[in-house]
Amino acid sequence: MANEFSISEVSIFKKLLSPKLFPVIFGLVSGFLVFYFLYFFEAYGIQKGLSYSGHTHLFRCLSFGALTFGYLTAFETWFKSKFHVTNFIYLALWYIGLVFLGSQLIFILFNFFWNWQEWNLEAYALIIKEFPLMMVLPLSFYLILKTITAPQKLKISYLSFQSENGKDQLKVKLQDFLYANSSENYIAISYYSNGESKQHLIRKPLKVLEQELKAYPEIQKSHRSYLVNSHNIQSVKQIKGKVYLKVKEASVPVSKQYQNHFLD
């Protein structure tokens, strides 16, 4: 039973950390903090007792919290995607706009409770100052949460091959490079593209290419005439003392001096 309970706890925690729920969490935290500061610290200079509209202090604090929760959740969940808010500048403007909009809504609701008797610059300035301050903590928490849980973009490495005279060039993703084998003064670059294996010839000594690719440890020499991408080796076969690497449809030979690298 203890194990089942712990597994269910992990499952619930993962669901709470789902990015789809982040706007709701943001709205809840923000709404709660607005309620908390109003009810316990009397932010906005809120008065206890009944307002002119006949609402209690508790009801008004809950209303301000509910308003904050509602508009933030709605804008983050539904409206943000329609505006294609992606880069840093647009994100900064978006959240500044959200905080500014919230202060306007709070000011309107504040006046509703006091029968529009606080429709003046002094009351407006108070809310314009205090609402952004109350939003610093939940907004910071929200942005940090989104940052640390955002999927990391895979860094794609490219290999550049070019002939000695620089006129013939080929650029291939590291994971698509299969192997290179030399024949006289040419090197055949084998790579994977659009679901099939392809080859490209460049004029260059294999020793020069080997030096150029030293920064990539996955590219290893298997033979005096071959460089192979170890990530694309599907199997290693040893037949009568000779070792071969299966790389896609090709069979790449391995010299005795390099066999230990592939048989270990």
102-156 pLDDT tens trace: 999 999 999 999 999 999 999 999 999 999 999 999 999 999 988 888 776 656 7
Q: For the chain, how are helix, strand and coil distributed in percent, rounded to 5?
A: 55, 20, 25
Domains of the chain: 18-149 (no CATH), 158-263 (2.40.50.1020)
Q: Which residues contact 97 (CB under 8 A, 6 or more apart)?
A: none
Quick one: pLDDT at residue 5?
42
Please determine, for residue 75, whether its predicted confidence score (pLDDT) is greater than 90: yes
Work out the average pLDDT over 166-186: 91
Please give the residue that has the higher pLDDT: either 86 or 15. 86
Give the span between the Cα atoms of 7 and 198, in whole angstroms. 48
Q: What is the DSSP letter of 155?
A: P
Edge-to-edge, what's the strand order for the sheet holding 242-247? 235-239, 242-247, 250-254
Work out the average pLDDT over 13-32: 81
Give the span between the Cα atoms of 232 and 246, in whole angstroms. 9
The half-sphere exposure of 23 on its side-chain side, counting CA atoms within 13 A, is: 15
**Contact by Cβ (8 Å): 234, 228:** no
Write down the residue that tokens 């009351």 correspond to: 123
Give the span between the Cα atoms of 165 and 204, in whole angstroms. 9
Please determine, for residue 4, whether its predicted confidence score (pLDDT) is greater than 50: no
Cα four-point dihedral sign 24, 90, 148, 20:
positive
Please give the residue that has the higher pLDDT: either 261 or 74. 74
Quick one: pLDDT at residue 203?
94
Alpha helices in the chain (DSSP H): 2-16, 22-41, 57-74, 80-82, 88-113, 121-149, 206-212, 259-263
Quick one: pLDDT at residue 148?
86
Q: Rounded to 10 degrees, what is the CA torsion of 245, 247, 251, 252?
A: -60
Please determine, for residue 87, whether its predicted confidence score (pLDDT) is greater than 50: yes
Confidence of residue 7 (pLDDT cuts 50, 70, 90): very low
